[in-house]
Structure 1
C-alpha cells in the first residue's frame, strides 16, 4: 500500500523524488534482506533515503547544509537539514520523526513544530518546509489491513502540502529488537510561512 498527494503546486517538482523514495526503501530491503527496514531508524536515516531519492530523480541535495537562520535579533549562521534543488527550483527542509501508535497518530502538533523550525531557515523569500517522518508502531502483533487503511485515511486528513506513505506488504510483519511492529512509513511536508 503506497501513495502520495501533492496539494501545493509549489511542491509539484518534488513528486519525482517522492516516487523514487519508495524505490529507495525497496532497494534497501533488497540489499539488507528481510530483517530490518530503513524507516525503523531515526530521522537522519529517513533523511538520507529522501536525499538519495532526489538524486535518483535528477535533483541535487545537500544534507546539513549551511544556511542563514532568521531569528528575532537578526540573521545568524545555522544549518538546514536538507537542501533540494533543480535548475529552476529549490527548497530548504527541516526534519523530525515520530513513532506513534498505529491507531493514534496525532501528527498535527509535530507537523506544526517542524514547519515552525523550518520558518527560521534561509531567507523569507525561499521555499521552506517542515518535514515529518512517521513510523507507526504496534506491539504484540502486526497491523491489520483495516488499521492500515485507517492510518492512510488519517494521513490524508492532515493539513499539509504533500504527503506520501508506504506500507510494504512484505515488511508489515517484521519486528524490531524491542518487539514492535512498524508496518511502514509516511512523510508529511508543511510549508513554513
Structure 2
C-alpha cells in the first residue's frame, strides 16, 4: 500500500522525489535483507533516503546545509536538515520522526512543532518545510489491512501540504529487537511561513 497527496502546488516539484523514495526503501531491503527496515531508525536515516531519492529524480541535495536567516537584529547563521533543489524550485527542510501506535497516530502537535522549527532556518522568501517522518508501531502482532487503511485515512486528515506513505506488503510482519511491528513509513510536509 503506497500513495501520495500533494495539496500545495509549491510542493509539486517533490512528486518525482517521493515516487523514487518508495524505490529507495525497496532497494535498501533488497541489499540488506528483510530483517530490518531503514525507516525504523530516526529522521537522519530517513533524510538520507529522501536525499537518495532526490538524486535519482535528477535533483540535488545537501544535508546539514548552512543558511542565513533575517531577524530583527540582522542576519544570523542557521542550518537546515536538508536542502532539496531542482532547476525550477528548492526547499529547506527541518525534520523529525515519531513512532506512534498504529491505532493512535496523534501527529498534529508534532507537525506544528517541526513546522515552527522550520520557520527559523532561512529567509522568509525561501520555501521552508517541516518534515515529519512517521513509523507506526504495534506490539505483539502486525497491523491488519483495515488498520493500515485507517492509518492512511488519518494521515490524509492532517493539515499538511503533502503526504506520502509506504506500507510494503513484504515488510508488514517485520519486528524490531524489542518486538514492535513497524508496517511502514509515512512522511508529511508542511510549509513554514515567516
Tell me whether the two structures share a fold, i.e. TM-score over 0.5: yes
Q: Which runs of 5+ in 2 are unaligned?
A: none
Taking structure 1 as reference, are residues 70 and 43 closer, same or farther at Cα in structure 2, changes over 3 Å only? farther
Distance 2:71 2:105 in 1: 31
Q: Partner of 1:184 in structure 2?
A: 184
Matches within 5 A, 1:1-193: 1-71=1-71, 73-193=73-193
3-state SS, counterpart of residue 126 of structure 1 = coil
Q: TM-score, normalised by structure 1?
A: 0.98
Per-residue CA deviations over 1:108-135 (Å, capped at 9, x if unaligned) read 1100111101111111100000000000
3-state SS, counterpart of residue 23 of structure 2 = helix
Distance 1:16 1:165 in 2: 14
Shift of 1:75: 2.8
Name the stretch that deviates more: 142-151 or 69-78: 69-78
Q: Which runs of 4+ in 1 moved over 3 A?
A: 69-74
Distance 2:185 2:77 in 1: 32
Distance 1:70 1:35 in 2: 46
Q: Is the 8 A contact 2:100 2:106 kept in 1?
A: yes
Number of residue-to-residue matches in the alignment: 193
Q: TM-score, normalised by structure 2?
A: 0.97
Shift of 1:86: 1.0
Note the aligned Cα RMSD (angstroms).
Answer: 0.9
Q: Is the 8 A contact 1:70 1:120 kept in 2?
A: no
Per-residue CA deviations over 1:129-168 (Å, capped at 9, x if unaligned) read 0000000000011111110000000001111000000000
Shift of 1:69: 3.5
Shift of 1:71: 4.9
3-state SS, counterpart of residue 95 of structure 2 = strand
Q: Is the 8 A contact 2:78 2:120 kept in 1?
A: no
Per-residue CA deviations over 1:75-109 (Å, capped at 9, x if unaligned) read 32121000011112110000000000000000011
Distance 1:69 1:17 in 2: 26
3-state SS, counterpart of residue 153 of structure 1 = helix
Distance 2:72 2:180 in 1: 42
